[in-house]
């Protein structure tokens, strides 16, 4: 099922999180994601608060950097939140920004090797297995969660480069594409992800979640384009941002679904003047698409 949601980015301080979260649920936005960016806001503390404030909202972590977190700790965090709020957490992990990882002394020499070891170990721990492994980055000796989730959540991996896209398809349950991907590039990414899924031999569906910078209202085009320029995306082209009225965005977002996205998360620009209003507009996009 195709989904539209939104994102609370760490461009906004933590004290704005509650207002944005409640506005999202009130507007009928079923899914709200957040980031764990250095050195701004943590993922699981924020996710737990968001889930406690709401009744139905699903919360995605897009993403927790693997180099920062021992895989056993990540599994414990996910399992704890999942057991408290069953079925409402979407955990995601990624390489992290390498310059930030270097700042904290955690930059891996081979991010791909880390992902290849980390994601399968995380999935195994969440499934309740006892795990012993001695890899380059992940070393566990008879580790098993005492309180694994009753239902194992899908683990999402963020990816950008071709090798990481293939690997995410191979080892994760879904792939997250950050903002800056046009529908054309999403289609190309889906091809690479599919190669990894085929290599895994797993038959379960593999979803692709895409973040898209979005702006509403009279200043929408200027706001969205400014975000694209500041972000310095490597392939500026049409379709990198969504801008305009909810009706226009409900039309334009179809290009991402046609390209193979299973979920599109509308990301406010860093200069977005009002998160409450933004979430209300996202909710209108959701309603317009549901009415078709």
Q: In this predicted model, what pLDDT tens digit does every residue of 246-281 receive, in sequence order?
A: 999 999 999 999 999 999 999 998 888 899 999 999
Alpha carbon of residue 283 to chain centroid: 19
Average pLDDT, the chain: 94
Region 225-244 average pLDDT:
69
Q: Which residues of 1-26 are buried (b: 16+ CB within 10 A; e: fewer)?
A: eebbbbbbbbbbeeeebeebbbbbbe
Q: Which residue, among 101, 26, 109, 41, has the nearest Cα to 281 in the 3D structure?
A: 26
In whole angstroms, give the CA distance from residue 224 to residue 215: 6
**Do 156 and 60 contact (CB within 8 A), yes or no?**
yes
Q: Count how many domains the chain has.
A: 1
In whole angstroms, give the CA distance from residue 204 to residue 59: 22
Region 9-23 average pLDDT:
96
In whole angstroms, give the CA distance from residue 125 to residue 102: 27
Beta pairing partners, 89: 59
**Do 251 and 284 contact (CB within 8 A), yes or no?**
no
Q: In this predicted model, what pLDDT tens digit does every residue of 96-133 receive, in sequence order?
A: 999 999 999 999 999 999 999 999 999 999 999 999 99
Dihedrals phi, psi of 248, to nearest 5 degrees: -65, -40
Token digits for 164?
């990481």
Q: In this predicted model, what pLDDT tens digit does every residue of 38-97 receive, in sequence order?
A: 999 999 999 999 999 999 999 999 999 999 999 999 999 999 999 999 999 999 999 999
Q: Can you give the CATH number for the domain in which 194 is found?
A: 3.20.20.30
**Do 23 and 32 contact (CB within 8 A), yes or no?**
no
**Which residue segment(s) compose the domain that 257 sits in?**
3-290
């Amino acid at each position: 099922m195709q989904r539209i949601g939104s994102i609370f980015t760490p461009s906004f301080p933590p004290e704005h999180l509650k207002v944005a979260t409640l506005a999202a649920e009130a507007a009928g936005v079923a899914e709200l994601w957040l980031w764990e960016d250095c050195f701004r806001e943590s993922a699981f503390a924020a996710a737990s608060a968001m889930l406690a404030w709401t009744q139905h909202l699903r919360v995605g972590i897009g993403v927790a950097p693997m180099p920062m977190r021992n895989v056993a700790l990540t599994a414990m965090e996910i399992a704890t939140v999942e057991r408290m709020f069953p079925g409402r957490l979407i955990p995601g992990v990624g390489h992290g920004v390498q310059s930030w990882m270097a700042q904290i002394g955690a930059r891996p020499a081979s991010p791909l090797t880390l992902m290849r070891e980390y994601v399968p170990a995380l999935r195994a721990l969440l499934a309740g297995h006892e795990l012993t492994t001695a890899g380059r980055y992940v070393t566990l000796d008879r580790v098993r969660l005492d309180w694994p989730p009753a239902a194992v959540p899908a683990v999402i991996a963020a990816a950008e480069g071709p090798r990481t896209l293939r690997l995410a398809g191979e080892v994760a349950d879904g792939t997250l594409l950050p903002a800056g991907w046009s529908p054309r590039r999403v289609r190309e990414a889906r091809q690479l992800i599919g190669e990894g899924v085929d290599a895994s031999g797993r038959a379960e569906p593999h979803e692709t979640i895409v973040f898209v910078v979005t702006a509403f209202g009279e200043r929408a085009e200027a706001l969205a384009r400014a975000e694209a320029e500041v972000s310095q995306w490597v392939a500026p082209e049409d379709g990198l941002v969504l801008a305009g009225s909810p009706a226009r965005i409900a039309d334009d977002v179809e290009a991402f679904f046609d390209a193979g996205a299973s979920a599109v998360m509308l990301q406010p620009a860093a200069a977005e003047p009002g998160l409450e209003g933004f979430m209300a507009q996202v909710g209108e996009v959701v309603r317009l698409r549901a009415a078709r």
